[in-house]
Amino acid sequence: MSDQGVSDPGGERDEAASQPPASPFGERSGPAAAEPPQANEAAAPAGEQVDAGSADAPSSGDGATPQTGGLEESASTASESGAAAGELGAAAGHGAEPRGKRTEQGEATYLIAIAEALWEEMERDERVFLLGEDIGVYGGAFKVTEGFIERFGAARVMDTPIAEDTIVGMSIGAAMEGFRPVAEFQYADFMSSGFDEITTTLGRYHYRTGVPLPVVLRGPSGGGVRASNFHSTNPEPWFAHAPGLKVLCPAFPSDAKGLLKSAIRDDNPCVFLEHKWIYRRIKEKVSEDPDFTVPIGKAAVKRDGTDLTIVTYGAMVHKALEAAEDLAQDGVSAEVVDLRTVYPLDEETVLESVAKTGRALVLYESLRFLGIGAEVAAVIGEKAFEHLDAPIVRLAPPDTPVPFSPALEDAFLPQVQDIVKAAARLSAW
């Protein structure tokens, strides 16, 4: 993997430094074992119109208006229930713990895997706290943090106003004082409201002062869920272009859990983008080891092939894998490389695959012009030219806002049949 100029690229620390210190929140004995409703695990068919009860729409809970919990009241509740806390931490599936929301076969959805990562890291290190709009009493727009405020209290699960710039500023200040904040944005589109602080301060402060800012910014991103252009953006190119930020875009529950845990433990600021289309559609068995992590900056080959390489990430990985199945029926062997982290970019894995297959199809959901795939294609052209048997092909949406009309959004986003056609033309070169 190439050196991309991010301080402490691996986020590695010695063993003593990796141990969580005494709680900056003071002595607390833990929470009552609350019993909120279980998350709906039903998967909506791809391309289906989304409504309030779908896999992609923000959960409406019981229809109550989101409320902001009081800091003092929640902290008091958390400190009065020490006996329940021991049971809650010891048995998976007890009370509100996310691991209790797995299927009977032990599978976790992408959404539940993210919730597990947050829960486990908050138990591991009391410097970790969450903040964001409606993440506490309401449990989050997509119910990722459902039950967290009962377990950890309002001092560590902080409801905020609708003020993204303030959320970022609070996170920066807390990190300067030794905390490890994880900020949630209801939609990744609205991260732009805190763009100045993210790119000017969060990304550069370590370089300027030597003071690390271990902040994680979580944002549901991506299209395909009929959420229109204000709720469907893929903002990863914005942040990948800002020095000092790591940008993560996992496609599978295991990778989401492992990468989020790595991001929380990393001393560099990380932007963690969760594709909404994947939230409840994709499930798999995920490690319950509290020390399970996935390294930041390391791609993964999700399907071996010999005729061409499809390089992609996020929701497009699943479309690429489906397209690869169709191509195999026509005798075309496609290798699928999932970047997982778009910055720093794992050039080594990409180049090794292209050297093996001789052809490269770069598939991405961020806009075609200066999107993530543009950089991937440039790297392949510069560093693997001698291995190429055909021109590099890019497949990405046009440079327009994401349409709301289902027919137009389907035309806007690369679909499986588009990937198959592009790959077939490339393999015939």
Q: Verify that 273 and 355 share a domain, yes or no.
A: no
Alpha-carbon span 265 to 408, nearest angstrom: 41
The DSSP symbol for 278 reads G
Residue 266 and residue 316 share a domain: no
Distance from the Cα of residue 413 to its chain's centroid: 20
Residue 56's Cβ-side half-sphere holds a number of Cα atoms within 13 Å equal to: 23
Please state, in angstroms and rounded to a whole number, the distance separating the CA atoms of residues 171 and 264. 13
Q: What order do you get walking across the sheet with 300-303 strand by strand?
A: 300-303, 334-338, 308-312, 360-363, 393-395
CA 316 to CA 314: how far, in whole Å?
5
| 172 and 115 housed in the same domain | yes
pLDDT of residue 57: 55
Q: Quick one: 345 and 258 in the same domain?
A: no
Q: What is the CATH number of the domain that holds 142?
A: 3.40.50.970
Distances (CA, A) of 307 to 119, 211, 302: 42, 47, 15
Q: Identify whether residues 265 and 140 lie together within a single domain.
A: yes
- What DSSP character marks residue 277? G
Mean pLDDT per 10-residue segment, the chain (429 residues): 43 42 41 36 36 48 37 38 34 52 92 97 97 95 94 96 96 98 95 95 96 97 92 95 97 98 98 96 95 98 98 98 97 97 98 98 96 97 97 97 95 97 93
Q: Which residue has the tokens 């990405």?
A: 396
Q: Based on the domain organization, do 87 and 187 belong to the same domain?
A: yes
300: phi then psi, degrees, rounded to nearest 5: -140, 135
> Based on the domain organization, do 70 and 217 belong to the same domain?
yes
What does the buried/exposed string (b/e) look like for 129-144 if buried means 16 or more CB atoms within 10 Å of the residue's CB? Answer: bbbbbbbbbbbbbbbb
- Let me know whether 391 and 350 are in one domain: yes
Q: Based on the fold, state whether residues 64 and 113 are members of the same structural domain.
A: yes
Q: Is residue 306 part of a domain?
A: yes
Within-domain flag for 5? no
In sequence order, the β-bridge partners of residue 393 are: 361
| pTM, 2 dp | 0.80
> Which domain, by its residues, includes 100?
40-285
Structure confidence at residue 178 (pLDDT): 97
Q: Residue 283 gets which letter from DSSP?
A: E
State the total domains in the chain. 2
Q: In angstroms, rounded to a whole number, what is the distance separating the alpha carbons of residues 272 and 281? A: 19
196: in domain: yes
| 3-state SS, residue 272 | strand
Show Cβ contacts of residue 397 under 8 Å, excluding neighbours closer than 6 positions.
365, 366, 367, 368, 412, 413, 414
For residue 385, give the CATH number of its domain. 3.40.50.920
Question: What's the pLDDT score for residue 56?
Answer: 58
Catalytic residue among 94, 206, 231, 387: 231
* 231 catalytic per annotation: yes
Peptide bond into 344 cis (omega under 30): yes
- 151/74 Cα distance (integer angstroms): 10
DSSP label at 101?
A: G
Contact 263, 340 (CB under 8 A): no
Q: Please tell me whether residue 52 adopts helix, strand or coil conformation.
A: coil
**Rounded CA gap, 119 and 32, in Å?**
15
Residue 13 counted as domain residue: no
pLDDT given for residue 159 in this prediction: 97
**Torsion angle defined by CA atoms of residues 147, 150, 153 and 156, in that order, rounded to the nearest 10 degrees:** -10
Q: Which of 257, 285, 313 finishes a domain? A: 285
In this structure, is residue 35 part of a structural domain? no
Cα–Cα distance between 412 and 402 in angstroms, integer?
7
